[in-house]
């Protein structure tokens, strides 16, 4: 199911509140800039399409083959290949074969990051753990059996360790 987050739009339902309270309006918050409109968007276990807006968004696809779009500014795409059960046991879930539609690798243009900190990959083992491949018009990042396709990034040399948040 696509999820679009638009600045200054909020929809909510308060089923247990009396009707008159549910109809009250929240005071309108005015961000200082569009950059302040950050969203955290989380997908589920299926194949999700998640779209950020103009803020510094944090987009977590979850399991499944997800399509992720951050929008303008400095976005963080989070790839967590494991989760914890009720007892705290780590369970591998995979992140699927995800597509990032608008990854910005340029620090001057709105630097996006790929957050793989949950994998405990460090700067010392980055080159041995992360494979970056040229697909012509796109770039493929492969970590173990998981892949992240950076759509429109047509030169894999543009993707460096600086584009990742490491563990």
Report domain 34-165's class.
Answer: mainly beta
pLDDT at 37: 57
pLDDT in tens, 80-98: 765 556 666 655 555 678 9
The answer for residues whose C-beta is within 8 angstroms of residue 100's C-beta and 6 or more apart is 68, 69, 70, 77, 112, 114, 148, 149, 150, 151
Total Cβ atoms within 10 A of residue 98: 25
Q: State whether the Cα torsion 88-64-61-163 is positive or negative.
A: positive
What are the boundaries of each domain within the chain?
A: 34-165
Report pLDDT digits (tens) over 120-167.
889 999 999 999 999 999 999 998 888 999 999 999 999 999 999 998
**pLDDT, tens only, 5-48:** 444 444 444 444 444 444 444 444 444 444 455 789 988 888 99
């Amino acid at each position: 199911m696509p999820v679009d987050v638009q600045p200054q739009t909020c929809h909510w339902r308060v089923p247990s509140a009396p009707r008159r309270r549910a109809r009250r309006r929240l005071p309108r918050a005015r961000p200082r800039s569009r950059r302040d409109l950050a969203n955290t968007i989380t997908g589920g276990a299926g194949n999700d399409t998640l779209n950020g807006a103009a803020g510094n968004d944090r987009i977590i696809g979850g399991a499944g083959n997800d399509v992720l779009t951050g929008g303008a500014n400095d976005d963080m795409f989070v790839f967590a290949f494991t989760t914890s059960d009720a007892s705290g046991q780590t369970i591998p879930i995979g992140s699927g074969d995800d597509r990032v539609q608008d990854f910005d690798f340029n620090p001057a243009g709105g630097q996006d990051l790929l957050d793989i900190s949950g994998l405990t990959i460090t700067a010392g083992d980055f080159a041995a753990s992360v494979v970056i491949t040229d697909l012509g018009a796109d770039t493929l990042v492969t970590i173990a059996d998981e892949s992240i396709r950076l759509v429109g990034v047509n030169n894999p040399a543009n993707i460096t360790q600086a584009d990742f948040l490491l563990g």
